[in-house]
């Protein structure tokens, strides 16, 4: 048997015995609702900012706020980064000169690198999965950590251009650990090219990455 179509019941709101004020929310109720709405909206905004910053899609704020760089070779720095170099002019560079760069490897760095590179290996992103591996927990991507070598080289005086790099990964870096990259010139190859030893150490002084690089160092263009 065909079932009859059901229609919603229509209610006549024009009945004379209705009190219209009963259908209007009180001022206190409206203010309370407004406060709740603002709280929910602010929570969503803050959560969205945190997610976007973690993915590297929004300029970071707070402790990662960008600061004017102390040297002409860089666009900016952030709190928690530090470096030192033995020479401040390109003309003075020679064998034995070095540069060191240190920074903590934050969870946001790991997620941003995964998004930028496409390397979403669960070892770096999934706590439960990583806990079952030989490492006992999540670790930073090896290429993320070796990127500190590039960051250190960028702090040599002049415009540093990578020509080659070889690396050997010797140990893992945990999330939140502060690591230091050190690069030292061991040979002047001529034509503004240099060979350097490159290494990254954990905050306990253990070498986690070792290798060599060849770079070309041009003069900085005039601004």
CB 214 within 8 A of CB 193: yes
Average pLDDT, stretch 19-33?
Answer: 51
Domain count, the chain: 2
Does one domain contain both 44 and 146? Answer: no
Whole-number Å distance between alpha carbons of 198 and 221? 26
Tokens of 24: 């209007």
Crossing angle of helices 142-153/107-117, nearest 10°? 100
Could you read off the pLDDT of 166-179 as tens digits, one per residue? 999 999 999 999 99
Does one domain contain both 186 and 98? Answer: yes
Give the CA diameter of the chain: 99
Alpha-carbon torsion 181, 77, 127, 55, what sign? negative
CB 125 within 8 A of CB 109: no
Does one domain contain both 40 and 70? Answer: no
Does one domain contain both 104 and 48? Answer: no
Could you read off the pLDDT of 127-156 as tens digits, one per residue? 999 999 999 999 999 999 999 999 999 999
Whole-number Å distance between alpha carbons of 121 and 113? 11
pTM for this model (two decimals): 0.72
Does one domain contain both 93 and 185? Answer: yes
Q: Is 200 exposed, middle or buried (0-12, 13-18, 19+ CB in 10 A)?
A: buried
């Amino acid at each position: 048997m065909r079932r009859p179509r059901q229609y919603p019941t229509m209610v006549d709101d024009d009945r004379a015995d209705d009190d219209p004020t009963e259908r209007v929310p009180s001022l206190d109720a409206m203010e309370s609702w407004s406060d709740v709405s603002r709280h929910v909206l602010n929570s969503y905004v803050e959560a969205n900012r945190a997610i976007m910053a973690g993915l590297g899609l929004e300029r970071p704020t707070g402790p990662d706020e960008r600061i004017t760089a102390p040297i002409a070779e860089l666009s900016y720095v952030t709190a928690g980064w530090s470096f030192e170099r033995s020479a401040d002019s390109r003309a003075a560079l020679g064998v034995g000169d070095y540069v060191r760069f240190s920074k903590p490897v934050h969870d946001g760095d790991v997620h941003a690198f995964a998004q930028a590179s496409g390397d979403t290996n669960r070892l770096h992103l999934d706590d439960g999965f990583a806990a079952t591996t030989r490492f006992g927990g999540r670790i930073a991507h090896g290429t993320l950590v070796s990127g500190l070598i590039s960051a250190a080289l960028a702090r040599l005086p002049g415009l540093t251009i990578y020509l080659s790099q070889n690396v050997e990964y010797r140990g893992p870096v945990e999330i939140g650990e502060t690591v230091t990259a050190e690069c030292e010139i061991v040979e002047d190859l001529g034509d503004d090219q240099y060979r350097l030893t490159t290494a990254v150490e954990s905050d306990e002084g253990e070498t986690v990455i070792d290798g060599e690089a060849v770079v070309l160092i041009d003069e900085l263009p005039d601004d």
